[in-house]
Homo-oligomer: A and B are copies of this chain.
């Protein structure tokens, strides 16, 4: 019997995060003030984030030490297993070797706690009593609830009302870890009240929830805001995934030719890919990294590279990113974590410089890949992870056509236990695919009056 899982000991949890900024040939352009269109410094972020995180956001240091207390909490589920997908390979009849890093072993069921724990730690260090955030599908809200609970801080989550009503289990999970969850829009903020005055039955949106969370966070000095993806420090924290995977691939006596991860704002893609891209920078390796996005929200494959807001309302600084426009409303696909209009600035710059690739898929293709995975490997993936699996199938099929064995490494970023209604819809044949037209994208981009690059 050959080994299926490659495990590490707790001593092998990385001691430093890898900051890819240090190795990028072209650094990202600076954020701009929406008022002046002039570059802004890190101090502009101080009302929202603690200095520990702001320093990481702008750091040029290649390695940033992980505090012992963070590593201690990581031990609840880290190191996560690297698993060889022997049965999935067999079912695909491919000469490719497929490995997956499984981040669903965290108590919140996804990779999100890697950064939530770190963010809670730095907030705690600076005396913050409460962290406020927003959540769509609930993965990020769950992760931050867990993290705040571990550091004995309050946590308040604005959950998009549609999800709040459709995913009550996610809400209860957050409650279990002691968080307060509000359906958004709410009467608690001016932003929420304004929306409700116009439309008392508003189902909410991530954009509205962000506005509510930010508005409430800045009212109190001991309260801060937190974001679960996109920003540099969030991507940084996720690099524990790829660093572990690199060590595990070495133990397996193998090395990936292709790295694949689902792409929402960039954090789970960056987490797995960046520590391998380091080898491209340092040793001239040619490891391909493919970000897998839904064809209904294709900022990387069909968006433009320009300055845009991080949120829908336009409260954040302007960021240089691949975007579909901050007013773009993607179809209500089940991979809720991938329904973001833009991409993190680091990932955007890497794509611009052709140092990474992107691929897009219809959700039907994604669920087909996900069900094949569940039937062969056992684990039922989150809809977001299914998107990445569609790219894995595509690359494995290419290997088959070309008769070449490549090694593929995939980020199985979470399990689907809270998303079974999506599978039910797939099995019942009701899963729809909206064909996004060029006119729709152009119309969303035409509304932008932000600086071009």
Contact = CB atoms under 8 A, between A and B. Distances in A.
A76 B378 contact: yes
B1 A424 contact: no
Given A107-B379, A371-B176, A420 B76 contact: no
A444 interface: no
Nearest to A378: B107
A423 interface: yes
Contact of A71 (B1, B107, B168, B427): B1
Interface residues of A, number: 41
> In the assembly, how many copies of this chain are there?
2
Given A4-B10, A149-B375, A169 B75 contact: no
A375 B178 contact: yes
A424 B379 CA distance: 26
Contacts of A7: 7, 9
Interface string A412-453: 000001101101100100000000000000000000000000
B105 A380 contact: no
A374 interface: yes
A127 to B, nearest CB: 22
Contacts of A221: none
Interface in A94-147: 105, 107, 109, 146
Given A3-B10, A4-B76, A374 B177 contact: yes
Contacts of A169: 417, 420-421
A5 interface: yes
Nearest to A106: B378
Interface in A1-42: 1, 3-5, 7, 9-10
Interface string A52-96: 000000000000000010011001110000000000000000000
A154 interface: no
A421 B9 contact: no
Given A176-B371, A177-B375, A5 B423 contact: no
A193 to B, nearest CB: 27
B377 A175 contact: no
22 contacts: A3-B10, A4-B10, A4-B75, A5-B10, A7-B7, A7-B9, A76-B377, A76-B379, A107-B379, A107-B380, A149-B375, A168-B421, A168-B424, A169-B421, A172-B423, A173-B420, A176-B371, A176-B380, A176-B420, A177-B374, A178-B375, A417-B417
List the 6 closest pairs (A to B, CB-CB), nearest first: A107-B378, A169-B420, A417-B417, A4-B75, A172-B420, A172-B424
